[in-house]
Chains A and B, each alone.
Chain A
Amino acid sequence: MMSEIIEVSNVRKDFDGKRALDDLSFSIQAGETFGFLGPSGSGKTTTIKLLTAQEGYQSGSVQVFGNAVEALKDPKQMKRIGVLTDNTGLYERLTVDANLKLYCNLYGLSYSRIAEVLHEVGLTGEESKVVSKLSKGMKQRVTLARTILHKPELLFLDEPTSALDPVSTERIHCILRTLNEEGTTVFLTTHDMYEAERICDRVAFLNKGKIQLQGPPRTLRVNHSDSSILLLLKDGREQLVGQNPEGAERIREVIASQQLASVHSNEPTLGDIFARVTGKELF
């Protein structure tokens, strides 16, 4: 079995002469959750469109499931992926059930799958509700239910939690983790560094159509850490000390004087690293 599910090399994408993606290269292994982290306009949605054969590209190569991405246009291959676009819509006048029934029929699934998938997204008992009456977070979970209805091997999610409240976000994260544990490969885009850090095995920083940096969040943070140590004192003050004799002396002092409340490693957040690498904030 191929372990590389997505393989992108040296892809360039222009819109009417304007560069949207530049020399993009990355690969995603089966079972991974891979996050594209970038500010607005950096090319996240465009990347998903390329990976799902909604858009062509000028040069380079995009392979999905070991074949050129165009193979996804074959409905048999299309069934292997699930796509939640940044504005995926539901039929607002119809019930949750009617929305899901449509897709059951399109994928040739039995209606019993509806109860299953609603259970997965925590919406059991809501099937007869009209979509327009649901909260934003519930709608997004129905959309997710529709996206995973046919149990895709590979899931594309374009900013799945943007504009959701923290509780709904947490719910979606929980669902995504479960799906990933069950073997689904997930490609998601976000401009939320916490999201990237919490659910992604690896992230890539995208800025102006270019990947600036990629790797596991933990590794990125350790590599960009200046290895200084943050001391929190009992009176609420903070002190940053280096890993050197002066630092050691300072730590000894605060411990001896019983001033120390806690010790922290001073790793940068993904947002800090992004800002350092691109000179830009994530928002």
Chain B
Amino acid sequence: MTSIRRIQAVFMKDYRDLLKNAYMLSTAIVPLFFAFMLNQEGEIETTAAFLPIILSMVIVGSFIQAGVIAEEKEKNTLRGLLLSPLNTTEIFIGKSLLSTVLSIMMIVAVIFIGNISMPDQTLLAAAATLISLAVFISLGTIVGLVSRTVMETSVIGIPVLFIFGMGEIIQTMIESELVIDVMGYLPDQQYGQLLLNLREGQAVGEPFFVLSMWVVVSVGLTILIYKKRRFD
């Protein structure tokens, strides 16, 4: 049985720990700088409009998550949790909650600071954001699980940042149509496209479907890697 109390205990521990962790705290506020820099005067007509949101998901959702997971392994505290009454679901939810909450706070802040013009369909936009966030947090968990130390997460995490967070920029540098097409299916692109479609009153079924597929694949992969790597 999944216990809220146990999940909350892990969350509170992570929260207390974050407050003492200057490295994580300073990483967490990086998206705010991007939002300032990319402050939008008028409405941007491409998916680039949503770049600061995506960067928040990558930096807080993926990077912080990866760090939090890798640190539990590096400092040998994960084993303690695994040998406690926590079950797999509780560990997953408990260990993802802080970066989820933090990401949501940053996304909201970034939208206001960056003057990002969001679609009027708030509920759909929020759903799309949460689904994408789940993908980025899963990616972060995977990076954290395969890294042995917090430092290693930055090394392994940089390519993730480039591919999943900077697709917008990379696309402008690539010639090959095929690569551009394939990259169009990456979660950041799909998310941007979805918000753009919403804003312009176009259909959002396909990006929603692709994003949901990303959730299934990334969460499945996370669980698989977790089962293999947790007692390493």
Contacts and interface: CB of A to CB of B under 8 A. Distances in A.
Interface of A: 49, 52, 54-55, 75-76, 78-79, 81, 83, 85, 87-94, 98, 101-103, 105-108, 146
30 contacts: A49-B231, A54-B82, A75-B85, A76-B85, A78-B84, A78-B85, A83-B83, A85-B76, A87-B76, A88-B76, A89-B76, A90-B77, A91-B13, A91-B17, A93-B21, A94-B13, A94-B17, A94-B20, A98-B16, A101-B9, A102-B9, A103-B80, A103-B84, A105-B9, A106-B6, A106-B9, A106-B84, A107-B84, A107-B85, A146-B80
A52 B9 contact: no
A67 B75 CA distance: 32
B116 interface: no
Closest 10 CB pairs of A and B: A105-B9, A89-B76, A75-B85, A93-B20, A89-B75, A89-B77, A87-B76, A106-B84, A102-B13, A83-B83
Contacts of B80: 88-89, 103, 146
Given A98-B16, A106-B9, A108-B5, A92 B87 contact: no
Contacts of B76: 85, 87-89
Contacts of B86: 75, 106
A52 B82 CA distance: 11
B118 to A, nearest CB: 37
Q: How large is the interface on B (under 10, 10 to 19, 20 to 34, 35 or more residues)?
A: 20 to 34
Interface of B: 5-6, 8-10, 12-13, 16-17, 20-21, 75-77, 79-87, 231
Contacts of B231: 49, 54-55
Contacts of A106: 6, 9-10, 81, 84-86
A98 B13 contact: yes
Contacts of B87: 75
B141 to A, nearest CB: 19
A15 to B, nearest CB: 12
Contacts of A146: 80
Contacts of A81: 83
Contacts of A90: 77
A146 B80 CA distance: 9
A85 B83 CA distance: 10
B164 to A, nearest CB: 29
Contact of B79 (A85, A93, A98): A85
A76 B87 CA distance: 11
Contacts of A94: 13, 16-17, 20
If over half of B's interface residues share one DSSP class (helix, strand or loop), that class is named, otherwise mixed; here it is helix
B92 to A, nearest CB: 15
A92 B150 CA distance: 15
Given A89-B77, A98-B13, A105 B5 contact: yes
A105 B20 contact: no
A143 B176 CA distance: 57
A88 B20 CA distance: 21
Contacts of A85: 76, 79, 83
Given A78-B84, A91-B75, 4 more contacts: A89-B75, A89-B76, A94-B20, A98-B16
Given A52-B83, A78-B84, A107-B84, A102 B20 contact: no
A98 B75 CA distance: 16
Nearest to B18: A93
Contacts of B21: 93
B5 A93 contact: no
Nearest to B20: A93
Nearest to A90: B77
A69 to B, nearest CB: 13
B75 A92 contact: yes
A101 B6 CA distance: 11
Contacts of A52: 83
A153 to B, nearest CB: 15
Contacts of B8: 105
Contacts of A105: 5-6, 8-9, 12
A55 to B, nearest CB: 7
A54 B77 CA distance: 15
A55 B21 CA distance: 33
A101 B8 CA distance: 12
A257 to B, nearest CB: 62
A105 B11 CA distance: 11
A81 B5 CA distance: 21
B85 A93 contact: no
Contacts of B12: 102, 105
A31 B17 CA distance: 38
